[in-house]
Amino acid sequence: MTAQSLFYWSLVVTAAGLVLIGLWGVLTRKNILRIALAFTLADTGVNLILVWSGFLPNRSAPIVDASVTSMVDPLPQALVLTSIVIGVAVAALFVVVGVLASRKSGSADVRRMKELRW
Amino acid sequence: MVKALAIFLPLLGAFINAWLPGKSPKASRVVSYLMLTAGLIAVIMLSIQLGAWNLRDLSDSVILSTGVGSPPLSINLEITAGGTLAAIVMYAATIFSLHRFALTTPKSQPLILALLTASLGLLFATDIFNSFVFLEIGSIVTIGLTAACKCGSRWEAAIKAALVSGLVTILYLLAVAVLYRSTGMLTLAALGNVSGASAVIVAILLLTVIVTEIKAFPLTGWGLDFYQGTSSIVAGLYSATWSLAVLLWAAKVLPLLPIGNPIIYAWIGAAGLVFSQLAGLRASSSGRIMGYSTSAYASLLLVAAGTTTGAFYTQTVIVLMIFSSIAKFSLFMLGNPEKKDQWSGFGTLLFLVPILLLAGIPPLPIFWAKFAFLAHLASGFPVIFYAVLAGLLLEAVYLFRFWSARSEKTGEKSAKRPSAVAAVLLMLLASVWITRMSWGALDFSGSIIESAGLRNIFHGLFAIGTLLCLPGVFNRIGREKSYWFWLLISGAALTILPAAGNGLTFYLLWEISAFAAVIGVSKGTAASKGTFWYAVFASLSGYLLLGGILLSKGSFAMAGVPAVLITIAALVKMGQFGTHLWNVRTYPAAPGTLPAFLSGTSSKAAVLLLVAVAVNSSSASLPWGRVIAWIGALTALGGAILAALAPDYKKMLAHASVSQLGYILMGLGLASILGWTAAIYHTIHHLIFKMALFLGAAGVLYRTGTTEFNNLGGLVKKMPWTFAFTLISVISFASIPPLAGFGSKWLLYNGLIEQGWLPVLIVGMFASVVAFLYSFRLLHGVFLGQLSPKNAHAKEAPLPLLIPQALLAMAIMVLGFKPTILLNFLVPVLEKIGLSGLAPVIQGDMVLTTMGTWNAWMVGLMVMGLFGFAFVFYWISGHKPKYVGQLDIGFAGEMPPSADEVHYSNNFFRPYQRALSFLPKIHAQKIFSGVNKTFNMLGDGVRALFTGDGRTYLAHSLIFLLLLFVFLNGGM
Amino acid sequence: MIRTYVGLIIVLALGAIVVSSLSNYSVPLELGSTGHNYTQRGVDDTGSVNLVTAVVVAYRGLDTLGEVVVLFSASTAVVLILTLIPMGANPTPSSSIVSFTAGVLPGAIVLFGIYIISHGHLSPGGGFPGGAVVASAFLLIMLGSNTIPGQSRLLASIESLAGLTFGLLGFWGMMTLGQFLNNKVLPVGSPGKLLSAGIIPLISLVIGAKVASELSGVFASYRKAGGEK
C-alpha cells in the first residue's frame, strides 16, 4: 500500500467513522446541545467524504501554476467550501433554537420537548 | 432577462429589506410589494410564453443559464411550464400573507422573501448540489420563522424541524459525494447514469431524503409536529411556497433515481396513504389535520411517480400539488388554531371550499386530476387503486369532521381575512378554468339510459321536485341562513343527471348535487353534526360510485365488482340497511324545505343509478337481485319500526323515508316487468307524498318552532290545510285505497307473487302493517288530540309552503283514481327494456295481471261512497266530543318528574317496544360505533409511531433507509 | 436504554453498508470529465488561477449566491429570534488579557482578512474564509468590551449593500451576456494579476463584506442574549 493510497483510505475511514459516531450521538443523546455537537461531528465527516469524492492520488492542489502538471478535481473542494459555510449557518441557528427551547422547557433534555405528538 | 427577474427579484428585495425595516417598516413593505409584484408579472409573462395555461402540455421550458459555460460545468435553471404555474401560486401566497407577517413580526420580511427565492430556485433547479443549497435556505428560513412566530409550541416545532433538516443535510451530501465519485457530474440528469452498488446507495439516500422532506408516511412525524406547533401564518406561507416547491422538486427527482422499477414508490405511497389517513382520523388539532392531509398528498405524489410517466405525470402532479397547497394556504389563513376564531355563515362557506377542494369534490380542480389519475390506476394497478381510494375516503372523513367542528363555533363575526378570501376566489376561478379544459371529457350526446321514456320520467321528477321546494325557501326560522342557492344548484345538477352520457358526467353531476346539498344543510341552525354525517356518507357513496365507474372504464355496461360497488353506492345514498344513520341525522338538521328535497327528490338519484346499472347489464337486472330485494324488505320493516318509535316529527319522517325506499328496492330487485312497474310507480309516488309530508313538517316547524311530538298535537284547528294535505299523504303511503299508495303495493305484491318470492312478500306486508302504526302516530301526534299551550298562537302555514303541498295532494288523488294515465306511459317503456315476466295489461281503467284485476276508478268510487256513508252516520248520530287540555290526565301513586312525562305522545308505542323486547337489539348506531372504534384503534396503533421525540423521527428515517437498502439489494 | 440499543443497531447496520460498499471499490486514477474540463478550460474561461475559486465564484456562482442567502437567512433568523426574547443586562466582564489583546490585534486581523479576500482568485482563500477572518476581529473586539453592542446600522448597511451588489452583478451578466452571474462582464485580464479574472475579485469582496458583517451580527446577538440577567 503506497503512502498516497494509505492516506486515501484513512480519509474514508475517518470520514465514515465521524458520520457514524455523529449519527449515533444524534440518535441517543438527550441533551439538545450535545445533539447539536453530534450533528457538527457528522457534518465534518460528510465534508471529508465530499473532499474524498474529488481526491486522486499523487496530484496537487488545483491552482494553476507553471510547475503544476496534474491537479485534483477542484469541484468537490468548492462544494466543501459551500457546505462548510452552510454547516456554520445551520449550527448557529440550531444552537440558538436549542438554547432558547431548553430555557423554555427548563432543561436541555429533548425528551421533555414532547408536547406535540401523535 | 424576464427569466432572471422572475426568480431573483425577491432576493434583491430580501437584501434591501435587511437594511430597511429598522428604519422604516412602511418603506420596507413597499419595497417588498414592488419586488413581488414585478416578479409576479415576470412569472405570468413566462407562463404565457410557455403556454402553461393550456394545462394539456406542460413540458415546454426555457433555460436560465448561470455562471460561465454550460452544464455540467455550470448550473442551469430550467423554467418549466408547470413550474411557472406553481411559481405564480408562490408569489401570490407571499403577497397575500405579507401584511399578516407585517402585523406580527415586521422584521421577518427578508426571511419571507428569502423563502420565496429558495422555493423558486428549488422549483427550477437542475443541479443536485444547487438543489441542496436551496433546500438549506428553505429549512433555515422555516426554522427561523417558526422560532420567531408568536405561538406556544414554537420552540418544539422549530427544534424538530431543525433535527430533521440536520439529518437530511447529512444524507443528502453523502448522496452528492457518491454521485460525483460515480459519474463525475452533479446534474440531476446524471442520476440516471449511476450504476452498480453506487446506484443503490444514491437511490436509498435520496429516496429517504425525499420521503422525509415531503413528509410522506412513515416519515411524517416531524411534519405533523411542525404543522401543529408553528403559527398558522407560517404554516400557511410554508405550505403554499416551500412545501409546494419541495413536492414538485421531489416529483422532478423521483423518476430520475436509479431505483430499477419505480413501482416501489407506488407501494410506499399507497400503503402510506392508508396508514397515515387512519392515523389522521384521530387528529384533533387543525394544524395536525393539515399535516395528515399534506402526508396524503405526498403519498399521492409517490403513487403517481410509481405508476405514471410523461406528460400525464406532470399534469397530474402539478394540478394535485398546486391546488392542495392553495387549499391548505387558505385554511391556515382562515383558521387560527390558537385564537378559536368564530365565523359568520360566509366564513363557514369560505372555510368549506378548501375542504371540498382537498377532498377532491367536483367540479373543483383537484377532482379532475384525481379522476384521471384514479382512472389510470384502475386500468392497471387494481390493488393500489383500492388502497388509494380507501385512503382518500378516510381523508375526506376527517376533513369534514374538522370542518363541522370548526363551523360549530360559528359566530356572528365575519371573516375579515382578505388573503384567504382571495385564495378561495382564486381557487374558484381556477376551477372554472380547469373545468373548461376538461369539458371535452363530459358527454351529453348519448345517455347511460337509452330509453328516452325512462329518462324523461326522471328528468321530470327531479325538475318538479326541485321547483316545488323553491317557493318555501324564504320562510326561514331562527338562525337558518339562505340555502336556496345551493338547493337550486343541487336540483339543477339532478335535473341534468339522467342526460349524462358517460360515467364521468354522471359522477360529476351526482357529486355536485350531493355536495351542493351538503352546503345547503350546513345553513341550518346547529346543523354541523347533520352536515358531517351527510358529507361522510355522501363521500362514501361518491367514492364507491367513482370506484365502480373507473373500474368499468367510464361505461355503465358493467358486471361483477363495478356493478356491486355502484349498487352499494346507491344503497348508501338511499340510507338502506344501516346506512340510514345519515338520513336520520341530516333531515332533522336541514333547514326549511331542504329535507323535502333530500328525501323526496335527491334520494331518487340513487334509483336512477340502480336503473342505469340494470338497463345496461346484459340481463337487464341488478347483481344479486334477490339480496337487494331482501335488503329492501328488511329496511322497510326496520325503518317502519324505528319510525313508529321516533320521538320527533322529522326524525320519524326520515325513518319512514328510508323504509319506503325499501319497497322501491324490492321492485327493482325483482327484475320483472311487474316489479319494475311497481318500483318506478312507487318512486314517483314516494316523491309526491314524501315531499308533501316534509313540506307539511316545514310548515309546522315554521309556525311552532319545534318538531318534537311532546310539544305538538292538536294543530288541526290551527293548520287545517296542512292537516288535510298531510292526511291525504298519510292515507296514500299507508296504502289505503283509493289513493296512489295502494297501486304501488298492489303492483309490487303481484310481482313478488309472480316470482314466488313469498318470504320477501311476507316481510314487506308486515312492514306495511307497521307503517300504519307510525302513520297514525304522525297524524295524532302532530295534528289531533289537544293543542299544546305553547302553540296557542300558531297559524296556518304560509302559502309558499301550502301551494306545493296542494299540488302534490292533487297529484296523489289523480294518481290514485286514474293510475292508468301513468301506467299507459310507463308499461310500454319498460316493455322495451327486456325485463322478464309478463307486462300488466291495461284496458280502460282496468289493470290486469296474471294474478288479478285492479280497477282504480271503481275502487275509488266505492271507497268514497263508503266514506260518505260513514260520515253521514257520524253526523246524524249527534256525538258530542268532550274537549280537555293536553296535560289533563289524572295519575295516582308516583308523581312524574315533569308534566311532559304524562303527555300522551311520550313513549307512545311503549307497549310495542316492550312486546318486541325479546328480540336482540341490533342498533345500526352500535354497529357504526363499533366500526368507528375499530378505526380509532387502528389509527391509534399507527400514530403511536409519532412519539413526539425528535430523535425517534430521525430513527424512522434511518430505519427506512436500511429497509430500502435490504429491499433494493434483495429485489435487484 | 432501549434507545441506546436501537441507535447502536442502526449505526452498526449503516456501518455494515459502508464497509460492504467500500470493500469492492477501486481507487480511480483519472479525473472525471467535469474535473478534467475544469482543469483544462478553467483559466481561459475565468482568468482565475485558483480553480476552486473559479468554480465557486464563476462556474457555480449560483451555488455561491445561494450560500450567501443561507448565511443571510441564518443570521437574520438568529438576530430576529434573539430580539424577541428578553435580553441580559450586562455581558460577563472579560479578563484583562482579552481586553488588551482586543485592543491590539484586530487591525492586523482585518488586514489579513482583506488580503485573503482580495487574493481569492490567485491563492487559496476568497470571500468566505476572508470574511470569517474579518469577523473574528469583530468577535475579539466584542469579547474585549464590557458593554452590550448596540444595533449597528453600519453592519446592516454593509450586509444589505453587499447582497444587493451580488444580485445586481448577476443581472448585469444576464443583461449583457445572457447568462446570470457571467464572469466576463468585466475583462478577464491576464491570469495571475491582482486585477484580473473578470468579476471574481469583486464578488469575493462582496462575499467577504457580507460574511464578515453577518457573522459579526450573529456574534453580537449571541453576546447580547448571553449576558447575565
Among chain B residues, CA nearest to C14: B962
Give how far C147 is from chain B: nearest CA, Å. Answer: 22
DSSP track, B288-315 = HHHHHHHHHHHHHHHHHHHH--HHHHHH
Cβ–Cβ below 8 Å for A93 and C29: no
Q: What are phi and psi of B855, to 5 degrees?
A: -115, 95
- Chain A hits for C18, CB-CB cut-off 8 Å, are 16, 20
Grid cell 430499477 — which residue?
B260
Q: Which of B372-376, B401-405, B453-457, B505-509 has the lowest mean pLDDT?
A: B401-405
Predicted local distance difference test score (pLDDT) of residue B780: 83
CA C115 to chain B, closest CA, distance in angstroms equals 25
> Which pLDDT tens digit goes with each residue over B776-785?
888 888 888 7
Among the residue ranges A76-80, B17-21, B364-368, the one predicted with the least confidence is B17-21
Neighbours of B444 (CB within 10 A): 11
More confident of the two residues A42 and C146: A42
Across the interface, of A28, A75, A96, the residue whose CB is closest to C4 is A28
Q: Determine how many CB atoms are found less than 10 A away from the CB of residue C90.
A: 12
Q: What pLDDT is recorded for position B22? A: 60
Q: Which chain C residues are within 8 Å of B4, Cβ to Cβ?
A: 170-171, 174, 180
Domain A3-58+72-110 has CATH 1.10.760.10: no
Which amino acid is it at B582? W
Q: How confident is the model at residue B896 (pLDDT cuts 50, 70, 90)?
A: low
Bridge partner list, B836: B672
Residue A1 is predicted with a pLDDT of 56
Residue % of chain B over a pLDDT of 70: 92
Q: CA of C165 to nearest chain B CA: how many angstroms apart? A: 9
Contact C214, C159 (CB under 8 A): yes
pLDDT the model gives residue B414: 45
Task: Copy the grid coordinates of residue B943.
Answer: 400514530
- Are A65 and C49 within 8 A, CB to CB? yes
pLDDT, mean over chain C: 81
Q: Which residues in chain B have Cβ-Cβ distances shorter than 8 Å to A52?
A: 177, 181
Beta bridge partners of C180: B66
Contact criterion met (CB below 8 Å) for A26 and B167: yes
The three cell numbers of residue C117 are: 479576500
Q: Which residue of B has its CA nearest to A90?
A: B140
| Burial call B64-78: b when 16+ CB within 10 Å, e when fewer | bbbbbbebbbbbbbb
Q: Give dist(CA B869, CA B875) in Å, integer.
A: 10
Q: Over the stretch C41-51, which tens digit does the pLDDT of each residue have?
A: 877 777 777 88
Q: B64: which strand partners?
A: B77
Coil, helix or strand for B127? Answer: strand
Rg (CA), chain C: 22
Residue B345, pLDDT above cutoff 70: no
What are the grid coordinates assigned to B197, written together? 452498488
pLDDT, residue B2, reads 81
Q: Phi/psi at B61 (nearest 5 deg)?
A: -155, 160
Which residues of chain C are within 8 Å of residue B970 when distances are taken between CB atoms?
none
The three-class DSSP label of residue A109 is strand
A71 forms beta bridges with A60
Sign of the alpha-carbon torsion through B446, B450, B456, B457: negative
**CA atoms within a 13 Å half-sphere pointing along the CA-CB vector of C116:** 22
Three cell numbers at B894? 308516583
Query: Which of B16, B18, B184 is the closest to C72 by Cβ?
Result: B18
pLDDT score of B344: 54
Is residue B900 over pLDDT 90?
A: no
pLDDT digits (tens, 9 = 90+) for B429-473: 777 777 777 777 777 777 788 888 888 999 999 999 999 988 888
Q: Which of A15-24, B416-425, B751-760 has the lowest mean pLDDT?
A: B416-425
What are the helix (H) ranges across A74-113? 74-105
User: Across the interface, which of C28, C51, C128 has its CB nearest the CB of A63?
Assistant: C51
Task: Provide DSSP, C93-156.
Answer: PPPHHHHHHHHHHHHHHHHHHHHHHHTTTTSS--HHHHHHHHHHHHHHHHHH--S-----HHHH
**pLDDT average, residue stretch A58-84:** 80
Confidence label for C229 from pLDDT (cuts 50, 70 and 90): very low
The helix or strand, by DSSP H or E, that contains position B415, with its residue range, turns out to be none
Say yes or no for a CB contact (<8 Å) between A79 and B951. no
The pLDDT of residue B899? 62
For residue C160, the one-letter residue type is S
pTM score of the predicted model: 0.89
How far, in Å, CA of B146 to CA of B155, rounded? 8
**If pLDDT is split at 50, 70 and 90, which confidence band does C40 have?**
confident
- Compute and round to an integer the Cα radius of gyration of chain B: 32
Residue A94 bridge partners (DSSP): none
Q: Tell me: pLDDT of A92 over 70.
A: yes
Residues of chain A contacting residue C38, judged by C-beta atoms under 8 Å apart = 62, 73-75
| Chain C, nearest residue to B72 by Cα | C34
Q: Is B371 exposed, middle or buried (0-12, 13-18, 19+ CB in 10 A)?
A: buried
Residue in B closest to C166 by C-alpha: B12
For range C140-151, the mean pLDDT: 73
Closest CA of chain B from A117, distance in Å:
4
Nearest one of B99, B845, B1 to C171, comparing CA atoms: B1
Give the contacts of B609 (CB within 8 A, at least 6 positions apart): B506, B510, B545, B566, B569, B570, B573
Place of cell 430533521: B164
Q: CB within 8 A of C174, min separation 6: which ones?
A: B1, B3, B4, C180, C182
Q: Where residue C228 falls among pLDDT bands split at 50, 70, 90?
A: very low
Q: Are residues B66 and B125 in contact, defined by beta-carbon separation less than 8 angstroms?
A: no
CA nearest to B450, candidates B514, B412, B499, B517: B499
Alpha-carbon span C75 to C220, nearest angstrom: 11
Partners of B944 on chain A (C-beta within 8 Å) are 118
Q: What is the pLDDT of residue B804?
A: 92
pLDDT of residue B905: 67
Report CB contact under 8 Å: C180, B130.
no
Q: Tell me what pLDDT residue B413 has.
A: 47
**Domain map of chain C by residue range?**
46-225
Instruction: Kindly state the average pLDDT of the residues B512-519.
Output: 89
Instruction: Report d(CA B10, CA B245) in Å as an integer.
Output: 16
Rounded Cα distance between B872 and B866, Å, is: 10
pLDDT digits (tens, 9 = 90+) for B379-391: 888 899 999 999 9
Distance, CA of C141 to chain centre = 20
Q: What pLDDT score does B691 carry?
A: 92
What the block records as the C-alpha cell of B153 is 409550541
Calculate mean pLDDT across residues B649-677: 89
Q: Indicate the average pLDDT of chain B.
A: 85
Over residues B311-316, the mean pLDDT reads 87
Chains A, B: CB contacts within 8 A come to 131
pLDDT at res. B310: 85
User: Residue B559 in contact with residue B423, Cβ under 8 Å?
Assistant: no
Percentage of chain C lying above the pLDDT 90 cut = 2
Looking at residue B918, its pLDDT comes to 65
Residues of chain A with a CB closer than 8 angstroms to some CB in chain C: 5, 8, 12, 16, 20, 23-24, 27-28, 54, 56-57, 61-65, 71-75, 77-78, 81-82, 84-86, 88-90, 92-93, 96-97, 100
Cβ(B428)–Cβ(B350) below 8 Å: no
Q: What pLDDT does residue B238 have?
A: 92
pLDDT digits (tens, 9 = 90+) for B257-299: 888 888 999 999 999 999 999 898 888 888 888 899 999 999 9
Nearest in space to B11 (alpha carbons), one of A33, C139, C138, C181: C181
pLDDT tens digits, residue range B833-861? 878 888 888 888 888 888 888 888 888 88
Least confident among B327-331, B506-510, B707-711, C60-64: B707-711
| DSSP characters over B743-761 | HHHHHHHHHHHHHT-HHHH
Q: Which of A14, A31, A96, A103 to mutate to test the interface with C (most CBs of C within 10 A)?
A: A96
Contact A90 B144 (CB under 8 A): no
How many whole angstroms separate alpha carbon B745 and alpha carbon B570?
22
Q: Provide, as residue numbers in chain C, all residues whose Cβ is less than 8 Å from the Cβ of B962.
A: 10, 13-14, 17
State residue B680's pLDDT score.
92
Question: Could A85 and C123 be called an inter-chain contact, meaning their C-beta atoms sit closer than 8 Å?
Answer: no
Q: Which three three-digit cell numbers place residue C180?
A: 446570470
If pLDDT is split at 50, 70 and 90, which confidence band does B346 have? Answer: low
Q: pLDDT tens-digit profile of B740-751? A: 888 888 889 988
**pLDDT classification of C203: cutoffs 50, 70, 90:** confident
B921 has pLDDT over 70: no
CA nearest to C20 within chain B: B197
Nearest to A97 among B162, B180, B954 (CB): B162
- pLDDT of B605 reads 92
Length of chain A: 118
**Predicted confidence (pLDDT) at residue B140 exceeds the cutoff of 90:** yes
**Whether pLDDT at A103 is above 50:** yes
Confidence grade of residue B337 (pLDDT, cut at 50, 70, 90): very low
Asked if the model's pLDDT at residue B657 lies above 80, the reply is: yes
- Nearest residue to B132 via CA among C42, C214, A38, A46: A46
Q: If you measure CA to CA, which chain C residue comes closest to B171?
A: C14
| Chain A residues closer than 8 Å to C22 by CB | 12, 16
Higher pLDDT, C1 or C110: C110
pLDDT above 90: residue C224:
no
CB B89, CB B239: distance < 8 Å: no
Contacts of C61 in chain B (CB under 8 A): 66-67, 74
Nearest partner of B770 among B659, B914, B905, judged by Cα:
B659
DSSP per residue over B813-843, as a string? HHHHH-THHHHHHHHHHHHTTT-BSPPPEEE
Number of other residues whose CB lies within 10 A of the CB of residue C101: 15
| Per-residue model confidence as pLDDT tens digits over A21-41 | 999 999 988 888 899 999 999
Spatial CA neighbour of B614 closest among B577, B564, B540: B564
What is the three-state SS of B72-112?
CCCCEEEEEHHHHHHHHHHHHHHHHHHHHHHHHCHHHHHHH
Q: Are B696 and B797 in contact (CB under 8 A)?
A: yes
Helix (H) or strand (E) holding B551: helix B528-551
CB contact under 8 Å between B229 and A116, yes or no, is yes
B693: which 3 cell numbers? 309530508
Per residue in B551-601, pLDDT (tens digit) is: 888 777 777 888 889 999 999 999 887 788 888 888 888 888 889 999 989
Sign (positive or negative) of CA dihedral B728, B730, B736, B742: positive
Mean pLDDT value across residues B195-223: 89
Q: Please give the C-alpha separations between residue B291 and each of B154, B275, B302, B750, in angstroms, as whole numbers.
A: 16, 14, 17, 57
Q: Which amino acid is at C105?
A: L
Angle at CA of residue B956, ends B954 and B958, nearest 5°: 70
Residues making up chain C, counted from first to last: 229
Q: What's the angle, vertex CA B936, arms to CA B934 and CA B938, rounded to 5?
A: 70
What cell was used for B837?
Answer: 315476466
Q: Which of A65-69, B1-5, B890-894, C141-145 shows the lowest per-residue confidence on average (mean pLDDT)?
A: B890-894
B125: three-class secondary structure by DSSP = strand
